[in-house]
Structures are given as structure tokens and as C-alpha cells.
Structure 1
Amino acid sequence: MNKIPFTPEGLEKIKKELEYLIKVERRNVIKAIEEARAHGDISENAEYEAAKERQAYIEGRIQELSGILANAEIIPALTKVPDKVQFGVKVKLLNLDTDEIVTYRIVGPYEADPSNGSISLYSPLARSLIGKEVGDEIQVDTPSGIKNFEILDIEI
């Protein structure tokens, strides 16, 4: 499997979620299953079924996160502002079609949250930005049509 890029903060978030699932959620769901079993016949026990479904979800998520961590590659935090857009930077853009100014941080796919200003390195916008400089204009083909941007600033 290919390495998955992460910022140091993003990798720490994944580690904390995994630790929480293992140390807290896994134990809680085992207790819930035991309590549901104590109610008698499990063939028609909704609490038991719900707890087993929750257990399956938790175990699946633990496996998923373990796989992600096994293939994670930390991209070191930048210490100075680069001349060109790269992984980990914040990019201030002017939408040339709407005159709206937006700022995005380019992160790994498991850290991306566009509503909070983080976009995946593999998104169409980030792919169009990588290697560009302040003042460059880019054109991005999005699901809602072609959008035009100018790079106003690059920050760390």
C-alpha cells in the first residue's frame, strides 16, 4: 500500500482516536453486551443486537485506523514559508469568478475537512495549486463547473 501523508497534528488525532476506541469504547461495548446477555434470551434482545452492531463498528474502525497508521508518513512541519505551494501550507486564494477570498490548508486525505478550511492533497483544487507561486492564477474543474483562482498568499 502507498504511504499516506499526514501532518504531525493529523497523525496525532488518528492515534488518539484509536487509543480511545481501544481503551474506552471497546470496554464499554463489552460491558453493554454482558449486561444485555444478563437480561435473558438474546434471540429477541434489541439491546444485545445493538451492542453487537456497535462492537462490529468499533472493531472495524480499529482495524481501519491501524491500517492507516501502518502506512502513515509524517511530512515534517515547515519552518519557513516556501516560495511555492506544497503539502502543509495555508493558501489564501481569490476566487476570480466571485471575488470571494478563501484560505485552505493542504493536508492528507484523512485530515481533510473543507468546511473547516482543510483540503486533501489529492483534491482537484490542491492538485492545481501544488508547485504554484503567489500571483499565479489557476483554473480548477470542479463538480459545479470550472473555477478560477489567484494565489494571494502562502503561509505555514
Structure 2
Amino acid sequence: MSRAPITKVGSERLRAELERLKSVERPRIIAAVAEARAHGDLKENAEYHAAREQHGFNEGRIAELEAGLSTAEVIDVSRLAAGNRVVFGATVDLEDVDSGESVTYQIVGDLEADIKQRLIAVSSPIARALIGKNNGDDFEFTAPNGVKSYAIVGVRYS
């Protein structure tokens, strides 16, 4: 079985989420299920069904995090000495060649990816196009809305 890479910061964040799901959310949801069950007829009890659904989602996320973290290889990005080369864990500043817009992404493991926080999965098309490039390089990749061209204007490891 191959070990999936994950950043040290991402590992700590996901372990904190796992702990919160187990110690805070699980007891809260169990109490909500018990309270809804006490209201009587379970077939037509919307509160009960909603609480059970929430319980299922919570337990599914717990299982996903436990499985992912158990096979993860934690990489301390601050100790990488890749220089100006883009590798796993790099924070990359990009400029859209066509529009001039700037964007910054960090290349992280699949489990910790979160586009809202600008954390892109190492398996994503843009990360695959970035890996191995150097600061100052231009590159293209196929996005869902067509081919995009970017220039790498900064690479750092922190």
C-alpha cells in the first residue's frame, strides 16, 4: 500500500478536526438522536431522521479521516530544500498570462486539499502541471473551462 503525502500543518489540522468530531460533535449528535427518539413515533419524526442523517455524515467523516491519516506520510514542508523548484508542499505565486491576475496556491495532499483556502491537491491538473517547474517558468494546463496559461512568479516553502 502506498503512503499518501500530507503536510505537517495539514496533518495537525485534520487530527484536530478528528478530535473535535469524536469528542464534541459525536456526543452532541447522540444526544440529539436520543431527544428526538423520546418524541415518539419514529416513522414520522423528522427531527429523528435529521439527527440520524447527521450522525451518519459525522461517522463517515471520522472514518475518512482515520483511514487517510493512518496511511499518510507526513512531510515537514519547512525542511524541504527544493530552492526555486516546485515540489510537493510548495506555495506557488502565479500570474495568469492572459488577464494578469495573481493567485497563490499551496500543493498539498489529497486529504487536506481545500480550494477555498488555496490548498490544491497534488493530484489536481494544475498541481501536476506545476510539479518540476521552476520560478520564472511559464506553463499551460487544461482547466474545466479550457486551456489556461500561467507564469510562476514565486516559489516558497514555509
Aligned equivalent of 1:104: 105
Q: CA 1:53 to 1:101, structure 2 compared with 1: closer, same or farther past 3 Å?
A: closer
Query: Match of 2:145, as an amino acid?
Result: S
Contact 1:81 1:154 in 2 (8 A): no
1:95 counterpart residue number: 96
Q: Provide the C-alpha distance between the structure 2 equivalents of 1:5 and 1:66, rounded to a whole number of angstroms.
A: 15
Q: How does 1:3-152 map to 2 (within 5 A)?
A: 3-79=3-79, 80=81, 82-152=83-153
Mapped to 2, the partners of 1:42 and 1:136 lie a distance apart of 62
Deviation of residue 11 (structure 1)? Answer: 0.9
Task: Give the letter aligned to residue 86 of structure 1.
Answer: V
Q: Distance in 1 between matches of 2:34 and 2:112?
A: 35
The TM-score with structure 2 as length reference comes to: 0.88
CA distance in 1, matches of 2:14, 2:115: 18
Q: Find the residue that maps to 1:135 and give its secondary structure.
A: coil
Amino acid corresponding to residue 21 of structure 1 in structure 2: L
AA of the residue aligned to 1:78: S
In 1: Cα distance, 2:77 partner to 2:68 partner: 20
RMSD (Å), alpha carbons? 1.7
Verify the 8 A CA contact 2:114 2:120 in the aligned structure 1. yes
Q: Larger deviation: 89-98 or 32-41?
A: 32-41
Alignment deviations for residues 117-149 of structure 1 (CA, whole Å, 9 cap, x no partner):
221111111111111112211111111111112
Q: 2:35 is matched by which residue type in structure 1?
A: E
Unpaired stretches in structure 1, ≥5 consecutive residues: none
TM-score of the superposed pair, with normalisation by structure 1: 0.89
Give the secondary-structure state (helix, strand or coil) at the position aligned to 2:77.
coil
Q: CA separation in 2, counterparts of 1:124 and 1:40?
A: 51
Letter in structure 1 aligned against 2:123: Y
Distance 1:116 1:154 in 2: 17
Q: CA offsets per residue over residues 38-58 of structure 1, 9 Å max, x none?
A: 223323222222222222222
**5+ unaligned residues in a row in structure 2: which ranges?**
none
1:16-46 CA-to-partner distances (Å, cap 9, x unmatched) read 1111111111111221222222223323222
Any runs of at least 4 consecutive aligned residues in structure 1 with deviations exceeding 6 A, and if so which?
none
